[in-house]
Structure 1
């Protein structure tokens, strides 16, 4: 008669599977951050698993890329949640942009991988939390009278995000020095959001 299943077999197998998944996602983050076109073979090799194991956990490349995006954005959200967003909206936004830049280089490479794999709507959903922080600060700045009100807020939020990703791409391509990026982003966003003066010279 065969051996009866051990009561610990189920939990042990789940723990093994979770470790395998974590190893694959970690390897995929490293690979896709360096090369958004990295193949699943490259990722499996970096994770130290076979193709069958990788596809056992992630049936498609899209499944794996989404898991990587979720993992990276969760880490980014944890870092940004620690930023002090109290006080003057402009100063708070400066602090948020400075902290956002610290995680943007990896995020931009992963975004490139995602854009070739995931639907645009899913990418927007995954980036909802970072966008919401920017939107809340812009709304506060408008209420304070320091940010412009003559453009749609969704356009301004998107413009800020495009600037962050664009600057990250410039540094990855070595067209901009990393130490310049934060200063240039802050200056550009300040200029973009500044309330324009009315014809009589007052700021609105």
Structure 2
């Protein structure tokens, strides 16, 4: 009997942790200011149980953000980014914007709690994917090269986060979001001469 107590307790603890992190993701996505009490109630556990796994609210916020980003990374890693860089960008943005909707609210919670360096580290993988795609588009001559690539990557994320916020506040319809995000980002990344050609064709 004693030999089974340890594994059983570990299994119970893992289930409780998963329940708390899931509740934190849901609660903070709805309200970035959700309290420990709110999250414990949503998870169906007591404060003591929650504090047994997460000593502070900051630890819990980080765990929720990391879990959301990990789930998003799994989804985005399955996106086909081969072939033409512009087409690959469209596929990536179509898959990205709705995932960002959740992480944007979590990011708001994290910004008031976690150091900026830690937040950047948690976002490193998504940023790296966008950077590699932009760099490839630059090599193909379809994305602009007159601005720092780090800035272009940041702008892409600003657009995604802005769309998520607009959607959350009902100013941007869900059905329109992917199209708006893609059109905005492609116009920003387009080489200046291509942007002028696209503008001219639109006017004609």
TM range (shorter): over 0.9
> What's the TM-score, normalizing by structure 2?
0.93
Aligned to 2:201: none
Counterpart among 178, 184, 192 of residue 182 in structure 1: 178
Aligned to 1:150: 146
| 2:147 alignment partner, SS class | coil
Q: Which runs of 5+ in 2 are unaligned?
A: 198-204
1:196 aligns with 2:192: yes
Counterpart among 114, 137, 144 of residue 141 in structure 1: 137
Q: Which runs of 5+ in 1 are unaligned?
A: none
Aligned to 1:88: 84
| Alignment root-mean-square deviation, CA | 1.3
Counterpart among 63, 68, 72 of residue 72 in structure 1: 68
1:14 aligns with 2:10: yes
Counterpart among 109, 116, 119 of residue 112 in structure 2: 116
Question: Whose Rg is larger?
Answer: 1
1:31 aligns with 2:27: yes
> What's the TM-score, normalizing by structure 1?
0.93
1:44 aligns with 2:22: no
1:11 Cα shift? 1.0
1:10 Cα shift? 1.0
Q: Is the 8 A contact 2:29 2:105 kept in 1?
A: yes
Counterpart among 161, 166, 169 of residue 165 in structure 1: 161
Q: Is the 8 A contact 2:94 2:178 kept in 1?
A: yes
Describe the superposition over 1:95-124 as per-residue Cα deviations: whole angstroms up to 9, x where unpaired. Answer: 000000121211111111111111111111
